[in-house]
A and B are shown apart, each in its own frame.
Chain A
Amino acid sequence: MGKLEFDISHLLSGGMVLVSLVLLYQDRMFAVLRFFAGHAVVLSFAVGWQAFVQDKPELYITALIALAFKGIIIPLALYRIVVRLGIHRELENVVGVGLTMLGGIGLIALSLIVILPLTTAADPYAREDLAFALSVVMLGLLMMITRRNAVSQVVGFMSIENGLILAATGAKGMPLVVEISVAFSVLIAFIVIGVFLFRIRERFDSVDIGALDRSQGDQP
């Protein structure tokens, strides 16, 4: 991999971490969905660039899936759900922007500290890619923890999946089986979640996960 190719790969995977960080502090539903779409678009560029650099045409399919499915279809569908549920005006309770961002930065530092010294033997791109991917996964987890709204938890989960695809494409020659299956499982996950959202809506008139806490099964 030449210097320029490496730099562009680097830029695109780094871009995903950046968008993940931005996702963390969005407090309006539409903004969350827009930035998630952006996340998926950056992912598709990163994957597409790897397809070009590694000369692996099948990765273009993965890139296309990421672009069409997660960049366009899912955000649109979630957009409609948000409108239908009437939660687009709601402000979300994020656990303090400053604190969340500090936590996010800490997690990125942690990922770099964990991955970079361990993988000196691996190929330099695979190594940085793994570090970035782990950061994206960690930020997605943090987002799932700090949100109380079902839709943004779903977005957090899908940004974790994006991070996993980034890791899978960075690993040279990883068989397509896994990539398609990841995309496929996102589809299933989305269906499941969609079903859940509607059921939750039906039962509680809210997609606030806090409403679920009331029905703890084991209280006196």
Chain B
Amino acid sequence: MSWWTENAAALVLVIPAIGAALLASLPNYRISARLNVLATGLTLASAVALVFGRPEAGAYLLVDDLNVVFVILNAFVGFTTSIFSATYIAHELETGRLTPLYLRFYHAMYQVLMFAMNLALLANNIGLMWVAIEVSTLTTVLMVGIYRTPAALEAAWKYFILGSVGIALALFGTIIVYVAAQPVVGPGLDAMAWTNLVKHGVAFDPALLNLAFVFLLLGYGTKVGLAPLHAWLPNAHAEGPTPISAVLSGLLLNVALHAVLRFKMLMATNAEVLAPGPMMITMGLVSLIFAAFMLYKRRDIKRMFAYSSIEHMGIITFAFGMGGPLANFAGLLHMTMHSLTKSAIFFAVGHVAQIKGTQRFSEIRGLTVTHPVLGWGLVLGVVAIAGMPPLGIFMSEFLVVSSTFARDPLLAIPLVAGILVSFGALFLRVNGLAFGEPLGSTQPAEASYVPLFAHLALVAVAGVYLPAPLVAWFQNVAKLLG
């Protein structure tokens, strides 16, 4: 056990790396699907071990209260998605949308993606973090384009171009941070380590930090999916395999957000810089309102939930932009709940789309009649994501709204308006999907319901009861975030 906790941080990275190599060399897809589950399961176990003991911050890796939350969430959703992926992908092979060779590639890429995301979260070096986020972009581009239909290629190309431009801007910001740090910390690797940056941030040139943060917010904000840089997100979600949509929404957006939060923490150490809060609040609100209205016009089920992800990332960015212990706590909680709920929704949507052979709203109706478990699972997921009490998202949204009312009531108006507008769109759509005369294929679902209902159960429990240690942990992180 002690060996396990001592090396947990390294294991979180090594297991997916070994998994990727193994999966790339195994031809049998049944074995590789199980191995994929096993590898993500072991990663989850190592991630949980980080709670009990952590290594000292080294030159490259850093484990602190903030990234442990992200790493565990990442490993958990990665694990459940791999279970979902096993049943999903078998069906794709049967229908001939994917060949065994592509499946092998898919499984290896899944592990590479997990590796890159964990590295981005655990990196103690801003350059290393950038590289990891770049790798995660490239792997997801390949995964989004895996079906090779014109629409999938268009989505992957758009994602690739916008993602690369965002990543390029972020690297420019990273270099400026180094230029700011180098006179104070001294040249070399030290001037890129988070631990040093935060310690000496007070002495950095504020003008350089301001400039850097603008580039970093725009760059990593592209990957968070904040409007007006969100254009890649709906296409990438709609055209890739559904497990990848779940991972994109549930995890990759969080990883990019984690980068923004780290740099916000750096900004907070220096009293003379611009406050990063208002920029984040503006981008968050614009994303929320824009996405809320865009929800109405959707004809594609996965595309609609992609816009819903933009909406929620907007709320989360808004909450962190407000800052302070309460709003940060609400933002963290909302991020966790959103990851769990959105990936659960994509699990349900993935099976629905496979059964019906389409993703269009107009061709799917009466799910609760033909597929009661799946249909009600989807309804429950949408009820949760829309923020109905007593589920988890209601609680986190309530906290965001109430903390905003306490601090700045005027800002709460667009926030509430955006939430209500999206609420209407979601119920309008799910009503057509779940009820009425059944339409389309009624073949039974070959689904594994465990990941779907495990996530929904967690969200439901979190709505009424949060364990005290978790609350304490989140409060501590909220304080760290400033």
Q: Which A positions have Cβ atoms within 8 angstroms of B? A: 114-115, 118-123, 126, 130, 133-134, 137, 141, 144, 150, 153, 157, 160-161, 164, 167-168, 171-175, 177-178, 181-182, 185, 188-189, 192-193, 195-196, 199-200, 203-204, 209, 212-218, 220
Q: Looking across the interface, which residue of chain A has its beta carbon closest to that of B235?
A: A217
Q: Which residues of B contact A122 (CB under 8 A)?
A: 179-180, 183, 205, 208
Bound Cα distance A125, B477 (Å): 40
Bound Cα distance A144, B160 (Å): 13
Contacting pair B234 A215 (CB below 8 A): no
Q: Looking across the interface, which residue of chain B has its beta carbon closest to that of A180?
A: B131
Most buried by B among A141, A164, A174: A174
Judge whether B314 is part of the interface by a CB distance below 8 angstroms. no
Q: Which residues of B contact A213 (CB under 8 A)?
A: 154
Contacting pair B154 A212 (CB below 8 A): yes
Given the contacts A164-B171, A189-B164, A218-B300, A181 and B131 also touching, CB distance less than 8 Å? yes
28 residue pairs bridging A and B, Cβ less than 8 Å apart: A119-B179, A119-B207, A120-B207, A121-B208, A122-B183, A122-B205, A123-B183, A126-B179, A130-B176, A130-B179, A137-B169, A153-B161, A157-B164, A164-B172, A164-B175, A167-B175, A171-B179, A174-B178, A174-B182, A175-B192, A177-B125, A177-B128, A203-B148, A212-B150, A212-B157, A213-B154, A214-B150, A218-B303
A25 CB to closest chain B CB (Å) equals 21
Bound Cα distance A150, B161 (Å): 10
Contacting pair B161 A144 (CB below 8 A): yes
Bound Cα distance A166, B172 (Å): 10
Q: Which residues of B contact A203 (CB under 8 A)?
A: 148, 150, 153
List 10 A-B pairs, minimum CB-CB distance, nearest first.
A173-B187, A215-B150, A178-B127, A118-B207, A212-B154, A181-B131, A217-B151, A121-B205, A167-B175, A171-B179
B284-315 toward A: CB 8 Å interface, digit per residue (1/0)?
00000000000000111001000000000000
Q: Looking across the interface, which residue of chain A has its beta carbon closest to that of B239?
A: A217
Judge whether B141 is part of the interface by a CB distance below 8 angstroms. yes
Contacting pair A167 B238 (CB below 8 A): no
Contacting pair A141 B172 (CB below 8 A): no
Contacting pair A133 B172 (CB below 8 A): yes
Bound Cα distance A48, B72 (Å): 44
Judge whether B165 is part of the interface by a CB distance below 8 angstroms. yes
B304 CB to closest chain A CB (Å) equals 10
Cβ 8 A contact of B178, one of A160, A171, A188, A195: A171
Contacting pair A185 B134 (CB below 8 A): yes
Judge whether B444 is part of the interface by a CB distance below 8 angstroms. no
Q: Looking across the interface, which residue of chain B has its beta carbon closest to that of A191?
A: B138
Mostly, the B contact residues are helix
Cβ 8 A contact of A175, one of B130, B148, B153, B188: B188
Judge whether B325 is part of the interface by a CB distance below 8 angstroms. no
Contacting pair A172 B187 (CB below 8 A): yes
Contacting pair B175 A174 (CB below 8 A): yes
B114-135 toward A: CB 8 Å interface, digit per residue (1/0)?
0000000000010110110011
Bound Cα distance A212, B130 (Å): 30
Bound Cα distance A203, B151 (Å): 11
Q: Which residues of B contact A123 (CB under 8 A)?
A: 183
Bound Cα distance A29, B142 (Å): 27
Contacting pair A199 B148 (CB below 8 A): yes
Bound Cα distance A130, B173 (Å): 11
Given the contacts A164-B168, A185-B131, A189-B164, A173 and B182 also touching, CB distance less than 8 Å? yes
Cβ 8 A contact of A160, one of B125, B145, B151, B165: B165
Judge whether B189 is part of the interface by a CB distance below 8 angstroms. yes
Bound Cα distance A189, B208 (Å): 29
Contacting pair B165 A141 (CB below 8 A): yes
Cβ 8 A contact of A217, one of B131, B134, B303: B303
Judge whether B211 is part of the interface by a CB distance below 8 angstroms. yes
Q: Looking across the interface, which residue of chain A has its beta carbon closest to that of B209?
A: A118
Bound Cα distance A122, B182 (Å): 10
B157 CB to closest chain A CB (Å) equals 6
B94-108 toward A: CB 8 Å interface, digit per residue (1/0)?
000000000000000
Contacting pair A196 B153 (CB below 8 A): yes
Contacting pair A157 B161 (CB below 8 A): yes
Bound Cα distance A212, B138 (Å): 20
Q: Which residues of A contact B245 (CB under 8 A)?
A: none
Most buried by A among B138, B176, B179, B300: B179
Contacting pair B178 A196 (CB below 8 A): no
A124 CB to closest chain B CB (Å) equals 12
Known: A175-B188, A188-B135, A218-B299; 9 extra A-B contacts, CB below 8 A, are: A119-B211, A120-B207, A160-B168, A164-B175, A171-B179, A175-B192, A189-B138, A203-B150, A209-B157
Judge whether B341 is part of the interface by a CB distance below 8 angstroms. no
A102 CB to closest chain B CB (Å) equals 22
Judge whether B155 is part of the interface by a CB distance below 8 angstroms. yes
Q: Looking across the interface, which residue of chain A has its beta carbon closest to that of B164?
A: A157
Judge whether B222 is part of the interface by a CB distance below 8 angstroms. no
Bound Cα distance A199, B130 (Å): 28
Judge whether B113 is part of the interface by a CB distance below 8 angstroms. no
Bound Cα distance A161, B171 (Å): 9
Judge whether B67 is part of the interface by a CB distance below 8 angstroms. no
Judge whether B210 is part of the interface by a CB distance below 8 angstroms. yes
Judge whether B156 is part of the interface by a CB distance below 8 angstroms. yes
B210 CB to closest chain A CB (Å) equals 7
Bound Cα distance A171, B151 (Å): 42
B300 CB to closest chain A CB (Å) equals 6
Q: Which residues of A contact B141 (CB under 8 A)?
A: 192
A128 CB to closest chain B CB (Å) equals 12
Bound Cα distance A133, B299 (Å): 43
Cβ 8 A contact of A200, one of B151, B153, B178: B153
Q: Looking across the interface, which residue of chain A has its beta carbon closest to that of B126?
A: A178
Q: Which residues of A contact B135 (CB under 8 A)?
A: 188
Q: Looking across the interface, which residue of chain A has its beta carbon closest to that of B211?
A: A118
Q: Which residues of B contact A182 (CB under 8 A)?
A: 171
A107 CB to closest chain B CB (Å) equals 14
Bound Cα distance A163, B265 (Å): 28
Q: Which residues of A contact B176 (CB under 8 A)?
A: 130
Contacting pair A137 B168 (CB below 8 A): yes
Q: Which residues of B contact A178 (CB under 8 A)?
A: 127, 130-131, 174-175, 192
Q: Which residues of B contact A217 (CB under 8 A)?
A: 151, 154-155, 235, 238-239, 300, 303
